[in-house]
Amino acid sequence: MPELPEVETVRRVLEERLKGSTITAYELGRPTFYRRPPKAALAGLVGSTVEGVRRRGKYLILLLSGGKSLTLHLGMSGRVCLGGGGAHLRFRLVLGDAVVCFHDARRFGRVGCKLPRLGCEPLEPEFNGPSLFRALRARRAPIKAALMDQGIVAGLGNIYATEALFAAGLRPGRAAGSLSGADCARLAGAIKKVLSSAVALGGSTLADEAYRDPLGRAGGFQERTCVYGRTRGRCGHALKATRRPIAGRTSLYCPVCQR
DNA sequence: ATAGGCGCCTGTAAGC
DNA sequence: TGCTTACAGGCGCCTA
């Protein structure tokens, strides 16, 4: 599912391909099927030039001329494709010769939404052991739920929260506020390491093929996971699932390596 | 303010 | 073989 590394991979391709292009038309998918983007988000779209593509957490932001911008969220199954058609078309942008399609089978994605309050960008320097410790100290929720809370850290979902907790040797069910400064330093480092390695590999394309970059290329991180999607950990130990799901998600961990 | 649960969705896979 | 059911999960909203 598109998390920070997948969205960042999409961002890089879009920025490279679209920067400097002017939007000549757009098209909405079946409006009875997909909720219409807010009118204000579409106003003045045609004629605007793409000045850059940003990412904030799991949100993509097209920066447009005239101080405008257009946000995209891929949700669970959203895919951005350069050119071509395909099923489940939600939104299409035409920029001269270039065409960008947003396909969204499960309809959890968003176009033109307002950004909610988001926490730290985990790959920025302001995210570190001390800032993570401050953000978690008063929390009683399980650490994994806190990591997937976009208002605390922006961009982590089930895959990368699971992998980061393994890398830091922490169990997903542990109360967030019980982590020491040293735990937080280790965890912040693990998050940066896992995310940057996943970005370098172009994200994760799982068995369901839900994610591919805008040129149709699969990611490579799924082959490097230690825990997620495995029955036996990369460490060689049998993995366990927490007795109850955390934040509604099955949560795998290694009972030997994670304490 | 925080935490937990539900509903939204459909494609895939497992189960009978 | 063909049907039904469970599961996947990001996020907004609701309640306590």
pLDDT tens for residues A200-257? 999 999 888 789 999 999 999 999 999 998 889 999 999 999 988 898 888 999 999 9
Specify whether A214 is catalytic: no
**CB-based contacts of A171, cutoff 8 Å, min separation 6:** A143, A165, A253, A258, A259
Tell me the per-residue pLDDT of A142-171, one tens digit each, with 9 for 90 and over.
999 999 999 999 999 999 999 999 999 999
Separation of A77 CA and B10 C1' (Å): 10
Question: How far apart, in Å, are the Cα atoms of A95 and each of A38, A45, A101, A109, A174?
Answer: 21, 11, 11, 22, 49
Specify whether A249 is catalytic: yes
Specify whether A58 is catalytic: yes
> Topology of A4-111 in CATH?
N-terminal domain of MutM-like DNA repair proteins (3.20.190)
pTM of the shown model: 0.96
Contact A104, A88 (CB under 8 A): yes
- The answer to whether the beta carbon of residue A146 comes closer than 7 angstroms to any atom of strand B is yes
What CATH number was assigned to the domain covering residues A129-253? Answer: 1.10.8.50
Instruction: Tell me the nt nearest to A107, Cα to C1'.
Output: B9
Is A9 strand, coil or helix?
helix
Q: Provide φ and ψ at A224, rounded to 5°.
A: -110, 0
Q: Where exactly are the structural domains of chain A? A: 4-111, 129-253
Indicate which residue of A12, A68, A174, A249 is catalytic: A249
Give the rounded percent of residues in chain A with a pLDDT score beyond 90: 86
